[in-house]
Amino acid sequence: MSSHNEPLVPPRDPLHAPDGYPASPVDPSDEALAARRVEGLLLATGALQRGHYLLKSGRHSDRYLEKWSLLQFPEAAAEICAIIAARALALARATATEIDLVVGPTTGGVLLAYEVGRLLGVRGIFAEEVRGDGEPRREFRRGFHIPPRARVLLVDDILTTGGSLQALLPPLYAAGAHPIAAAVLANRTPSITAIELPGHDPLPLIAALTLDIASYAAESCPLCAKGEPIGAPGSAGR
């Protein structure tokens, strides 16, 4: 039987970034140093993996980002969210605007939108994928209210094509909101620097970390040519 004098939370080993990476939180305004800190946290949590992977797109890659490996460690995820929040706030101030609301897509974007919203002192809500007639779309349900003219920050986990963030825009514009920027934990497609929807101004993209991760068509994959076994990580083969 446990004693009432025992600590509520047992001792545990803290996360340690690999050698060569910052060992403690850094100034978010130093983008290069902050990116190194984020990469170290992704490595420490096992979120950044090396191997031979089949991506959701059908292409192959030698590196993979598993967001849930990071998100199971609240302290590490919260630290990266603090970097995102600081950079979003700096962008808003530089453009003489404010942030009224943070939104994210299911599933990983839910946790991130709430934490970034908490840090900015505003609400954090999420949009769900709805499958009906025609193409799947995103909707804000659960009684979430988006005030007209609300200045909105979009937040998601890993950016590959930008499609998840782009899908948030139609319901936001339909509600009369004003998206001002988008932010992600990691951008694995450096050529994407903004989120665009035809007929609207592009949204600047904030990435806590940008990684140039090569991917290959299955028929020209050098890893396949070497005979390396392939895995399809993630619940949906991502």
* Element at 102 (helix H, strand E): strand 101-105
The residue that leads in pLDDT, 72 or 4, is 72
Query: Which pLDDT belongs to residue 232?
Result: 83
Confidence of residue 3 (pLDDT cuts 50, 70, 90): low
What predicted TM-score, i.e. pTM, was given to this entire model?
0.88
Q: For residue range 11-33, what is the model confidence (pLDDT) as tens digits?
A: 677 889 999 999 999 999 999 99
Query: Which pLDDT belongs to residue 200?
Result: 95
Query: What is the Cα–Cα distance from 201 to 180, expressed in whole angstroms?
Result: 9
Q: For residue range 169-223, what is the model confidence (pLDDT) as tens digits?
A: 999 999 999 999 999 999 999 999 999 999 999 999 999 999 998 889 999 999 9
Q: How many CB atoms lie within 10 A of CB 97?
A: 13
Specify the length of the chain in residues: 238
Query: Which pLDDT belongs to residue 81?
Result: 98
142: which 2 tokens?
């659960």
Confidence of residue 234 (pLDDT cuts 50, 70, 90): low
| Beta-strand pair 101-105/151-159 | parallel
Sign, CA dihedral 236-183-121-176, equals negative
- What CATH number belongs to 31-225? 3.40.50.2020
Q: For residue range 109-168, what is the model confidence (pLDDT) as tens digits?
A: 999 999 999 999 999 999 999 887 777 789 999 999 999 999 999 999 999 889 999 999
120: which 2 tokens?
């900015």
> Amino acid letter at 41?
L
Confidence of residue 2 (pLDDT cuts 50, 70, 90): low
Confidence of residue 238 (pLDDT cuts 50, 70, 90): very low
